[in-house]
Structure 1
């Protein structure tokens, strides 16, 4: 990160037409390359031996009222100005904090007391439900992620095919006497 900041600062200070000072970026480039290469060398072993505590991850994913924005969004989708929705949910977070509760601890009656919208609709109470709400191109819903992975896989295959074609051309040219 330091090399990036240093390079950006150097580039910012260059006049528009004088680029000889750009030779100073090479040290940062090579140092960064070495650092990334070392990091990549340890990744396979790290990933292979990685143990994920999914229960702990699920709890951390909704800690500290991170889903409060989803609750405010639900109110806004039902015609409540977001400023008002923010105030309603902010008050709810304060109340829950004072009582040592989370959103998941609230009863249906408590939700209905917060706002009439919550009498018939509940905001997402899990990270999975929150993620699933973003079902649009580039969103986090599982369907969108699967589509993005398919597109990335296709692009990777196209790149591999191009590399293979370029290698074949290079080998043909280099093998001629």
Structure 2
């Protein structure tokens, strides 16, 4: 076995090692500006799926919820608004299932907190990943 089939993996590992050498000093010297991070995360209607999920949780088929959400996003774009700033009466024109609680469901914090799966951005998922990586690093130190 000349490991020719693994050449791409070896190249990838070498590239990752180079990236890590670059990332360490970058991360050590970077300044985190939370407001800029939040503003960047809030752009682009990343909460549109959460808006559709909101309707699904209230009993609407996803296909219909998806269509309504698409209409809402288009309206926001035309009016220069976001889903968070669109007035409730605009939501209600498309479905009576919308209520004041839609704003909580589509908030950035709620959108992040709902992503609890492995590798997700919810705080508990991130904490679990950090714990896992620390354990791996400790094992590496011992070996």
TM-score w.r.t. structure 1 length? 0.64
Gaps of 5+ in 2: none
Based on CA coordinates, which of the two structures has the bigger radius of gyration?
Answer: 1
Pairing 1:62-141 to 2, within 5 Å after superposition: 62-123=42-103, 124-135=105-116, 139-141=120-122
Higher helix share: 1
Is the CA contact 2:83–2:106 (under 8 Å) kept in the aligned structure 1? Answer: yes
Matched, 1:143 2:124: yes
How many residues align structurally?
142
CA gap 1:150/1:24 in 2 versus in 1, 3 angstroms: closer
CA RMSD of aligned residues (A): 3.0
Is the CA contact 2:56–2:62 (under 8 Å) kept in the aligned structure 1? Answer: yes
TM-score w.r.t. structure 2 length? 0.76
Q: How far apart are 1:155 and its partner, in Å?
A: 4.7
Q: Among 8, 14, 18, which residue is 1:38 paired with?
A: 18
